[in-house]
Amino acid sequence: MSAPIVQGWCPGALRPMMSGDGLVVRVRPRGGRLTTVQAKGIAALAGRHGNGLLDLSNRANLQIRGVNEAGHPALIDGLRALGCLDDSAEAEARRNIMVGPFWAAGDATQAVYAALEAGLSGTNAPKLPGKFGFSIDLSPQNALCGAAADIRIEAGNGGILVRGDGFETGALAECPAEAAALALALAHWFTQTGHIQNGRGRMATLFAGLAPAARHACLPAAFQTTQALPASPATPQIGPCAQGYLLGFAFGQMTAQTLASLADLGDLRLTPWRMVLVEGLATAPTLPSLITAPHDPLLRVVACTGAPGCLQALAPTRALAVALAAHVPQGQTLHVSGCAKGCAMPAPAEYTLVATTNGFAALHKATAAGRPHSTHSAADLMANPDLLFEKPNAPQL
């Protein structure tokens, strides 16, 4: 397989990334939420300046696809008028804050978010690596505890717990302002560890190889409070919930028209599972590309943009994923990736197909960068889906 290019940074609105179908412009919703006005405005801008398609990202952001360079300044003006932009590309990159969707009006979630955003946009903000991010989930289910984040703000026993990703201990805050201040202090501490190299570095790899006791000793004293850590919960199910209705989308993609129609139903909360929670909605609407049933086979397949939308892709991905979806057993996942970078699913999947110059490499219980056990053409896989379930040969004893 040819080596994919690792960019080491995420696109933003002010710093978009070129893809095979034009610029990808990523909008970071404040507080993890788009008001009806913002969502309708973004839908109109995506139709006017993009190719009319929007992607939900696994960082709970919204990406406008197919923007041409000439239209980018007008798109930026429109996003600024909607209150969706930051003062600079650097401030935008730092405002990498994921908010769990199951917060209730009046709980501390949005106050923590506002305080953290203010801290990250100040002159004394920590100089963080490109993909470094924060998560805030104070809900009892702590649905975000398995989502990618470097600093986690969670409901603790007797306060708000602030901890680094992978740390067994954290610091307890009594109020939202203190929680944000602790998260910023931990971020500043991280910048002084020497772990950031060439603009890259993640909290989870900081103590790689160290035993828990040794890790504990390295932490600042304020972050050595022991708490019962949450187990990683299952991905929330599509359907009604206390805050509204959770809706899915085939491959996390929707049209601008679907976004505008959803905005008519209520304010929207974005999630890292590429689902949208429509606030206050009691029944599922009927809209194109919407997944409303929790056992829809399309929820068992994950596929990146693939060719021709991604410049690095070695083949189209989504038609193959759709063709194979019904053959994937319930509770398992097939990941179809346009190259070994595996953007759509960094974690291992039960079954993975990776496009190569030679067909699709098949892998079992691996990430897209793993070692394949066989290679098949897309046509052969569609004609004989059982090829997917071939297992690597057992080692000869």
Which residues lie near ligand SF4 (CB under 6 A)? 4, 304-306, 310, 312-313, 337-339, 341-343
Contact 328, 296 (CB under 8 A): no
Contact 179, 187 (CB under 8 A): no
* Least CB distance to ligand SF4 at residue 338 (A): 3
**Distances 117 to 35, 281, 314, 340 between C-alpha atoms, Å:** 18, 28, 39, 34
* Least CB distance to ligand SF4 at residue 159 (A): 40
> Which residue lies nearer to ligand SF4 by CB, 337 or 352?
337
> Which residue lies nearer to ligand SF4 by CB, 183 or 250?
250
* Least CB distance to ligand SF4 at residue 334 (A): 15
> Which residue lies nearer to ligand SF4 by CB, 152 or 341?
341
Give the position of tokens 């923590």: 112
* Least CB distance to ligand SF4 at residue 339 (A): 3
Return the residue nearest ligand SF4 (CB atom).
Answer: 338
> Which residue lies nearer to ligand SF4 by CB, 10 or 281?
10
Between CA 237 and CA 232 the distance in angstroms is: 15
Expressed in angstroms, the distance from the first to the final Cα of the chain is: 29
* Least CB distance to ligand SF4 at residue 91 (A): 26
> Which residue lies nearer to ligand SF4 by CB, 227 or 337?
337
* Least CB distance to ligand SF4 at residue 246 (A): 25
Phi/psi region, residue 94 (left: phi>0; alpha: psi -120 to 50; beta: rest), is alpha
Between CA 125 and CA 118 the distance in angstroms is: 9
> Which residue lies nearer to ligand SF4 by CB, 222 or 369?
369
> Which residue lies nearer to ligand SF4 by CB, 11 or 47?
11
SS3 helix, strand, coil % of the chain, rounded to 5?
30, 25, 45
**Distances 55 to 5, 225, 301 between C-alpha atoms, Å:** 21, 39, 16
* Least CB distance to ligand SF4 at residue 354 (A): 8
Between CA 200 and CA 129 the distance in angstroms is: 5
